[in-house]
Structure 1
Amino acid sequence: MSVPNVKLNTGYGMPILGFGTWQSEKGVVGAAVKSALNVGYRHIDCAWVYGNEKEIGDALEETFKEGKIKREDLFLTSKLWNIFHDPEDVEDSLRETLKFLQTDYLDLYLMHWPFSFFKNDNRDILPKDGDDKVMNTYIHYLDTWKAMENCQKKGLVRSIGVSNFNEYQINKIIKGGSIVPAVHQIECHPYLNEETHIKYCKDNGIAVTAYAPLGSPKRPWGTAEEPVVLNDPVLKKIADKYGKTPAHVAIKFQMQRGVIVIPKSVTPARISSNFEVFDFELSNDDMDGIRGVNRNWRGLSFDWAAKSHKYWAYHPNYSED
């Protein structure tokens, strides 16, 4: 099965269904990536902060040596972490990811969040002070973006984009930079359908990738009181109608909106199951029904670590003026 592409504003095609690697631990992520490639995924979503890019790179290199897949057959995404926002650090961080993934270029490089943390010799991803508070710095994301633009111009990455931004911040980049982001990666699922923001991105020529498309029920800070997307009765009813699962319906919902989607698993059966979304189409009534369960519920705002930062995207009435 060949996965359809979404055409980016850089002219490159990005597979609409990808494979996520967040929370895929060392020792299992390599096998998971190989399993995904065997199933038919050709889009792998990575990030430096996940701490598993070296193992992913080893898995990719082994797969290439087998001769079944070539580098040009894959779409590789990674992300710049918050301690590397200083423009002087951006290229070095990207080159480290290239080394880990054992490739000469990325297809897409994203700014993981719009805010920066204190750069530290220990490379702690959440550097904290003596009061156990995250140590912020206030490098403006536009300055970081311009350094990413230079990486694209050097050919280290084909397309660049952002993640977890708001419209104010994206407008700042569009007006102040020389390259419009190719992609905005956001939390998006039936309980956070982001209809208005997706339209904004499309109106500006920016593709959208939905992470946590199943609601990320296993994220470390989740609580028993939170809603579980895959238990929603509307999704279950629609899934039964097609002989599918609520997960299939949640993934297909994004694809039929033209949204790129990156479900994650390390279980071979689930990896394969998440790919089984090309043999059915949701009706207009089904799509409207899924839209109707929206709660604007966000499970991955990172507020527990970043709410104090002035560039945290989810401040009410956000403004830098």
Structure 2
Amino acid sequence: MAASVLLNTGASIPPVGLGTWRAEPGLVGAAVCAAVKVGYRHIDCAPSYGNEKEVGLALEKLFRDGVVKREDLFVTSKLWYSNNAPQYVPEAIQTTLDELQLEYLDLYLIHGPIRLEKGSAPTPENSLPCDIPATWAAMEKLREAGKARAIGVNNFSCRKLEALLAVARMPPAVNQVECHPGWQQARLRELCRSAGVHLSVEHRSQLTAHHGTLPTGICSVVLAYSPLGSTAAAGVNAPSVLGHPVVTSIAGRLQRTTARLALRWGLQMGQSVLPKSTDEARIKENLDIFGWSIPEELMAEFSEIEQACSLHCSFLCIFAHLMFLFVRSCSYCCFSLYLPRPSRVPHHIDLFPWCKSSRLSCSEQSSE
């Protein structure tokens, strides 16, 4: 695998990791073992994925069998919405550490700028005001205590990230967001670059056996998810990046699959990627993005791809956004839904009180 990317903490993050989002129980443990054995050194987890305990059993077996040492792995997890308050942060990370059978995390992310009532369903009526600066201060204490060696955020827009950077003692090391050739997030990538935040992309698209699976995410180095386009939200059929004429043309000229090309594009844009698969052959194939590159003149052609008209919102906002389609985007977070591009996209700020609960509002301006 190619050299790791340096974070603003001085630690390094592998350029490719295994995403575990929606990895089926009974399969995710074997997938983690297979991934580590073929060279993966980054495992991306979250309590909301419902499989951290199984991932922990797999990690313990890998360590016990001498396949890899703890210090050679980079493990990420996230603070779920119902714990997005300073008083819940210590208990939340300890629960994750216990399930993963680890003493520390390499990276701990605020899963999003959203807070829910404890034990409630993720619906707008269960949302609470979210004090991100206070939660971030609790995250900083985790790093000082050695529970998390780096801290960061997930699905933070430019506006949300700028607000956090203005008050943080320790800037976020990573922002994990959706980013792919069809939604390139140019302004967000530039903000992360200038602020020293890595962009990370976690894959949330299901691909055919021919294509394998790809990642999505963002970080202060950027971690990118949904590199092939978002298909996971609310049953919306997002446009496939893999079928775009620019992508298929470049893939043909380089004699690579469109999936490999999209992953390689992410790496060359400075992102780290988190492809998700439980199929051993595809897990191995997703590492086939090194030892070759996209020439500069072909990279320039990606700018010809029309960027999707996107609703940037948390899933708490999805149904309202779909009900009121004249709202184009939400600066609340960086999740996106794809809709046919309208000729006009006015907005109305008062429809989405749960967006405003975290001091961000819906607007016509893109979350970039």
**TM-score > 0.5, shorter chain as reference:** yes
Matched, 1:115 2:114: yes
User: Residue deviations 1:30-69, cap 9 Å, x none?
Assistant: 1111121122110111111111111011111111111111
Structure 1 unaligned spans of 5+: none
Quote the residue 1:29 is aligned against.
Answer: 28
Quote the residue 2:176 is aligned against.
Answer: 185
What is the alpha-carbon distance in structure 1 between the residues aligned to residue 312 and residue 46 of structure 2?
Answer: 16
8 Å contact from structure 1 (residues 193, 296) kept in 2: no
8 Å contact from structure 1 (residues 162, 184) kept in 2: yes
What is the alpha-carbon distance in structure 2 between the residues aligned to residue 21 and residue 314 of structure 1?
Answer: 31
What is the alpha-carbon distance in structure 2 between the residues aligned to residue 177 and residue 185 of structure 1?
Answer: 18
The structural deviation recorded for 1:222 is 3.3
Matched, 1:255 2:267: yes
Deviates more, 1:53-62 or 1:296-305: 296-305
Deviates more, 1:154-163 or 1:19-28: 19-28
Which of residues 341, 355, 362 in structure 2 aligns to 1:309? 355
Return the letter of the residue paired with 2:151. Answer: I
Matched, 1:200 2:191: yes
Quote the residue 1:148 is aligned against.
Answer: 139
The structural deviation recorded for 1:279 is 2.3
Q: State the SS of the aligned residue for 2:236.
A: coil
8 Å contact from structure 1 (residues 189, 213) kept in 2: yes
Q: State the SS of the aligned residue for 2:363.
A: coil
Return the letter of the residue paired with 2:291. Answer: D
The structural deviation recorded for 1:314 is 7.4
Quote the residue 2:228 is aligned against.
Answer: 214
What is the alpha-carbon distance in structure 1 between the residues aligned to residue 305 and residue 361 of structure 2?
Answer: 22
Matched, 1:157 2:148: yes
The structural deviation recorded for 1:299 is 7.6
Distance 1:192 1:72, change over 3 A: same
User: Residue deviations 1:99-125, cap 9 Å, x none?
Assistant: 1111100010000101111123xxx45
8 Å contact from structure 2 (residues 234, 318) kept in 1: no
Pairwise CA RMSD of aligned residues?
2.0
TM-score after normalising by structure 1: 0.90
After the TM superposition, which residues 1-321 of structure 1 pair with which residues of structure 2 at under 5 Å, given as runs?
2-120=1-119, 124=120, 126=122, 128=123, 133-208=124-199, 209-217=223-231, 219=232, 221-224=234-237, 226-298=238-310, 301=313, 302=315, 303-304=317-318, 308-310=354-356, 311=358, 315-316=362-363
Structure 2 unaligned spans of 5+: 200-222, 320-331, 333-351
What is the alpha-carbon distance in structure 2 between the residues aligned to residue 197 and residue 177 of structure 1?
Answer: 18
Deviates more, 1:281-290 or 1:88-97: 281-290
Distance 1:23 1:314, change over 3 A: farther
User: Residue deviations 1:145-186, cap 9 Å, x none?
Assistant: 111111111100000001111222222222212111111111
Quote the residue 2:345 is aligned against.
Answer: none
Deviates more, 1:227-236 or 1:297-306: 297-306
Q: State the SS of the aligned residue for 2:150.
A: strand
Q: State the SS of the aligned residue for 1:162.
A: strand
What is the alpha-carbon distance in structure 2 between the residues aligned to residue 257 and residue 141 of structure 1?
Answer: 28
Q: Percent identity?
A: 38
Q: State the SS of the aligned residue for 1:117.
A: coil
The structural deviation recorded for 1:297 is 4.7
The structural deviation recorded for 1:139 is 2.6
Distance 1:21 1:134, change over 3 A: farther
TM-score after normalising by structure 2: 0.79
Q: State the SS of the aligned residue for 1:157.
A: coil
The alignment covers a number of residue pairs equal to 307
What is the alpha-carbon distance in structure 2 between the residues aligned to residue 106 and residue 80 of structure 1?
Answer: 12
Quote the residue 2:324 is aligned against.
Answer: none
What is the alpha-carbon distance in structure 2 between the residues aligned to residue 14 and residue 289 of structure 1?
Answer: 29
